[in-house]
């Protein structure tokens, strides 16, 4: 019986020791902030006069992963920066703000590179769908308020170049 008690106590001590070792093995994973990488330039022109409204440095989202991730996890976006999505087909596209920490304006652009519709002031972390409302091939995400600030309208056109 004494041997059984000693065995039981030894087993408990071994479990406590092993459990204590687990705490030492926990590691904090540090993630690097996601930063902007300039991949091109985009210019928006006024429909009526063909004059330049504004130029942006753009990051291009083209692969499935890039278009699904977009500006998620970003802490900020400079006023002269945007994310430009290029889709292979002209379709109705819908976006949401899951894991997106900054408010955005979404500019939906048709296959002729003309603004077709827009959504203003999409709120961070809101998972409500934001539809293009018409078939489009491109989307430009900008800091919230820029659509209004530059009076961007349906029919204004864009040009972009890759770097």
17 part of a folded domain: no
Residue 115 domain boundaries:
40-162
3 part of a folded domain: no
54 part of a folded domain: yes
101 part of a folded domain: yes
Strands 104-109 and 52-61: unpaired
75 part of a folded domain: yes
- The total number of residues shown for the chain amounts to 163
We report the CATH number of the domain holding residue 149 as 2.60.120.1140
pLDDT per position in the chain (163 positions), as tens? 444 444 444 545 555 555 554 555 667 777 678 889 999 999 999 999 999 999 999 999 999 999 999 999 999 999 999 999 999 999 999 999 999 999 999 999 999 999 999 999 999 999 999 999 999 999 999 999 999 999 999 999 999 999 9
156 part of a folded domain: yes
28 part of a folded domain: no
Q: How many CB atoms lie within 10 A of CB 104?
A: 29
- How many domains does the chain contain in total? 1
Q: What is the pLDDT, as a whole number, of residue 2?
A: 47
Q: How many CB atoms lie within 10 A of CB 68?
A: 10
Q: What is the pLDDT, as a whole number, of residue 29?
A: 72
Q: Are 69 and 45 in contact (CB under 8 A)?
A: no
15 part of a folded domain: no
């Amino acid at each position: 019986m004494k041997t059984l008690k000693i065995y039981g106590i030894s087993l408990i001590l071994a479990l406590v020791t092993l459990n204590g070792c687990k705490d030492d093995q926990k590691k904090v994973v540090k993630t690097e902030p996601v930063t902007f990488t300039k991949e091109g330039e985009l210019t928006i022109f006024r429909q009526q006069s063909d004059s330049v409204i504004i130029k942006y440095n753009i990051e291009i989202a083209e692969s499935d992963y890039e278009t699904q991730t977009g500006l998620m996890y970003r802490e900020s976006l400079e006023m002269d920066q945007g994310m430009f999505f290029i889709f292979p087909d002209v379709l109705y596209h819908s976006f949401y703000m899951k894991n997106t920490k900054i408010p955005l304006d979404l500019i939906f652009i048709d296959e002729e590179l003309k603004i077709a519709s827009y959504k203003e002031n999409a709120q961070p972390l809101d998972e409500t769908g934001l539809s293009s409302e018409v078939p489009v091939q491109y989307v430009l995400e900008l800091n919230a308020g820029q659509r209004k600030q530059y009076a961007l309208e349906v029919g204004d056109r864009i040009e972009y170049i890759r770097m």
